[in-house]
Amino acid sequence: MAHEQKLEIFRGLLKFKSNVGKIWGVLVFLSIITAIEVALGIIRPGFLIESTVLGMKPLNWIFIILTLVKAYYIAWDFMHLRDENKFLRRSIVWTPIFLVLYLSFILLVEGNYIHEVYKVGFVKWNF
Amino acid sequence: MDTTVTTGEKQNVWGGANKPLNASYGKMMMWFFIVSDALTFSAFLCAYGFSRFKFTETWPIADEVFTHVPFFHGNFPMYYVAFMTFILIMSSVTMVLAVDAGHKMQKNKVIWYMFMTIIGGIIFVGSQAWEWGTFIKGSYGAVETKGGRILQFVDAESGHQIAIADFSKEIASERAAHERKNGIWFTKEGALPTYTVNEVVEGFKSNSNLLVRTETINEHGHKTVLTREESLKKLSSASQVVEGANLIHNEYGSRLFADFFFFITGFHGFHVFSGIVINIIIFSNVIIGTYEKRRSYEMVEKVGLYWHFVDLVWVFVFTFFYLV
């Protein structure tokens, strides 16, 4: 199969000699990120959970960003989206991103609102 | 397998053998399926976020729920889930190595790598089953109030949770499980908890070093522990003893947590299971040489896409269920 394979990750910072080498490289990278996540999850450093940034603890933001990084490398290198046609890639990636952003925005705002209602309303639920 | 890309305007677009976006039909359809399935999972996780935002001050802390490791006793938050995550990423790697070997038409390597992938998948599903079992069985037991809130018991000095079995008093009682044959014929109840509310409350009263821990999270990110007087007052509203978790009761806190746990990890586990089945089918085809004759291992690539997708979903479930 004449399959064009791009062997660079981190925008060309790291270039592998073979596709197999790249796979192992990505595994190492993903393992490091998972290790960081687990370590942060166990330690829970105080300065990261006692403040809020954009309505959420900084630690949670770190988790979400690291997850998206992991998802990027799984999709790009394991599901070899990197080697696919640019517009196939865009239609696969941007459709869910748009819909998920919309849905999570709607649901989280609504959840927050109900939380307020429970907190200040007259219905007692925590007893 | 055609190896050339159809270029040139002279070729008839509608004449067949034309691949839109340079992806074969099967691969494109696999991507369609993956996108739609990704939206299903996103909807579940968004619903989880909705419920969590609703009860953000009383939501269980995952670090305190998933603390078990098979064959070891003690408190090991996250370790086992991290191990499961690693297993799944590892099986993703062997899968992508199988796809790579397929491109090079190396049949034996494909067989070997697919075999490792299937083993990894089985280990993962087994771990998940074990985790479900542990979650359903529960670890300490708790008391549910009339309002449906959970009260757990902690040691006053160390702050560690104490199992209800360690302090409950044995009091003879005649409370029998309600069965179909001796009550209203269309209702029955499950197994009774090991202890009655009365036994737990009496045990609590005679152990002065015990305190009640409520679901409410304080500003330091820990569950609120009540004083002795508040604890005794709170316990007077106890309505039943809860051991373990199911869809209706959950000793770890909010029941919605257990519901979403069973639903989302269950749906994901089902995907892993079907991924293993599909992998086994393709694996057998590789062994009997179907793709060798076809001169193309694209089928391995397609099943590989599905397998990586399962891994991708787990990455998100891991974050939103266990970390955040």
Q: Which residues of A touch B90 (CB under 8 A)?
A: 27
Distance of CA B72 to the CA centre of its chain: 20
Buried b (16+ CB within 10 A) or exposed e, B39-53: eebbebbbbbbbbbb
Helix H or strand E segment including A116: helix A86-120
Domain covering B19-138+257-323: architecture = Up-down Bundle (1.20)
Does B316 sit within 8 Å of A78, measured CB to CB?
A: no
Confidence at residue B7, expressed as pLDDT on a 0 to 100 scale: 53
CB-based contact B35 A95, cutoff 8 Å: yes
Please tell me the predicted confidence (pLDDT) of residue A26.
92
Instruction: Give the residue, B16 or B40, on which the prediction is more confident.
Output: B40
CB B69 within 8 A of CB A126: no
CB pairs under 8 A between A and B: 151
Angle (CA) A32 A38 A44, round 5°:
125
pLDDT of residue B173: 74
Which residues are registered as beta bridge partners of B210? B155
Write the ipTM: 0.90
Q: Residue B55: its pLDDT value, please?
A: 92
Residue of B nearest to A125 (CA): B147
Choose among B35, B95, B323: nearest Cβ to A41. B323
Q: Which of A78, A85, A127 is closest, CB to CB, to B145?
A: A127
Closest CA of chain B from A111, distance in Å:
5
Indicate the residue of B63, B90, B308 with minimum beta-carbon distance to A79: B308
Confidence of residue B11 (pLDDT cuts 50, 70, 90): low
Please check whether residues A115 and A98 belong to one and the same domain. yes
Instruction: Residue A91: give the domain boundaries.
Output: 85-127
The whole-number average pLDDT for the span B274-298 is: 94
Chain-chain contact of B221 with A50 (C-beta, under 8 angstroms): yes
Residues in chain A within 8 Å Cβ distance of B221: 44, 49-50
The model's confidence at residue A11, banded by pLDDT at 50, 70 and 90, is confident
**Residue of B38, B54, B95 lying closest to A111 (CB–CB):** B54
Residues A78 and A105 in one domain: no
State residue B122's pLDDT score.
Answer: 97
The verdict on A46 and A95 lying in the same domain is no
Task: Give the closest-approach CA distance of A39 to chain B in angstroms.
Answer: 9
What pLDDT, in 10s, does the model give residues B50-103? 999 999 889 998 888 888 888 888 788 888 999 999 999 999 999 999 999 999
Note whether B254 and B60 are within 8 A (CB): yes
Mean pLDDT of chain B: 89
A7 and A60 in a common domain: yes
Q: Do A2 and B3 touch (CB under 8 A)?
A: yes
Q: Are residues A15 and A76 in the same domain?
A: yes
> Do residue A69 and residue A19 come from a single domain?
yes
B312:A71 CB<8 A: yes
Kindly report which listed range (A18-22, A89-93, B231-235) carries the lowest average pLDDT score. A18-22
Q: Which of B310, B318, B321 to mutate to test the interface with A (most CBs of A within 10 A)?
A: B318
The string of pLDDT tens digits covering residues A116-127 is 999 888 888 877
Cα–Cα distance measured from residue B253 to residue B54, given in angstroms and rounded to the nearest whole number: 14
Q: Please answer yes or no on whether B43 and A23 come within 8 Å at the CB atom.
A: no
pLDDT of residue B319: 92
Domain ranges, ordered by start, for chain B: 19-138+257-323, 142-243
Cβ-contact B75, A17 below 8 angstroms: no
B:88-107 residues touching chain A, CB 8 A cutoff? 89-90, 92-93, 95-97, 99-100, 103
Structural domain count, chain A: 2
Chain B residues with beta carbon closer than 8 angstroms to that of A74: 92, 308, 311-312, 315
Of A2-16, B167-181, B184-198, B219-233, the poorest mean pLDDT is in A2-16
Chain A contact present for B55, CB below 8 A: yes
Task: Judge: A34–B38 Cβ closer than 8 Å, yes or no.
Answer: no
pLDDT computed for residue B142 by the predictor: 93
Strand partners, B213: B152, B225
d(C-alpha B149, C-alpha B251), whole Å:
9
pLDDT score, position B10: 54
**CA pair distance B241, B239, nearest whole angstrom:** 7
Nearest CA in chain B to A18: B100
Q: B306 to chain A: which residues are within 8 Å by CB? A: none
Residue partners of A16: CB distance under 8 A and separation at least 6: A7, A8, A9, A22, A25
Indicate if A43 and A89 belong to the same structural domain. Answer: no
CA dihedral B36, B37, B38, B39 (to 10 degrees): 60
**E runs forming strands in chain B:** 142-145, 150-155, 210-217, 223-225, 238-242
**Spatial distance between the Cα atoms of B41 and B47, rounded to a whole number of angstroms:** 10
Confidence tier at B31 by pLDDT (50, 70, 90): very high
For residue A5, the model assigns a pLDDT of 73
Closest among A63, A65, A30 to B85, alpha carbons compared: A30
* In a shared domain, residues A21 and A75: yes
Dihedral of the CA atoms A99, A100, A105, A111 (nearest 10)? 120
In which band, very low, low, confident or very high, does the pLDDT at B2 lie, cut at 50, 70 and 90? very low
Q: In chain A, what residues touch B63 (CB-CB under 8 Å)? A: 41-42, 44
Q: Does A42 share its domain with A24?
A: yes
Q: Indicate whether A93 and A127 sit together in one domain.
A: yes
Judge whether B6 is closer than 8 Å to chain A, CB to CB: no
- B159 or B286: which leads in pLDDT: B286
SS3 for B219-246 is CCCCEEECCHHHHHHHHCCEEEEECCEC
Q: What is the mean pLDDT of residues A58-66?
A: 93
**pLDDT by residue (tens digit) across B98-156?**
999 999 999 999 999 999 999 999 999 999 999 999 999 998 999 999 988 999 999 98
Interface of B with A in 286-315 (CB under 8 A): 296, 304-305, 308-309, 311-312, 315
Average pLDDT over residues A63-80: 93
Q: What pLDDT is attached to residue B5?
A: 53
The nearest CA of chain A is from the CA of B288 a distance in Å of 21
Q: Does A31 have pLDDT greater than 60?
A: yes
Tell me what the mean pLDDT of segment A66-95 comes to: 92
Q: Quick one: A45 and A106 in the same domain? A: no
- The mean-pLDDT minimum among A68-82, B4-18, B108-122, B294-308 falls in B4-18
- pLDDT exceeds cutoff 70 at A83: yes
What percentage of residues in chain B have a pLDDT greater than 70?
A: 96
Nearest of B254, B260, B226 to residue B242 by alpha carbon: B254
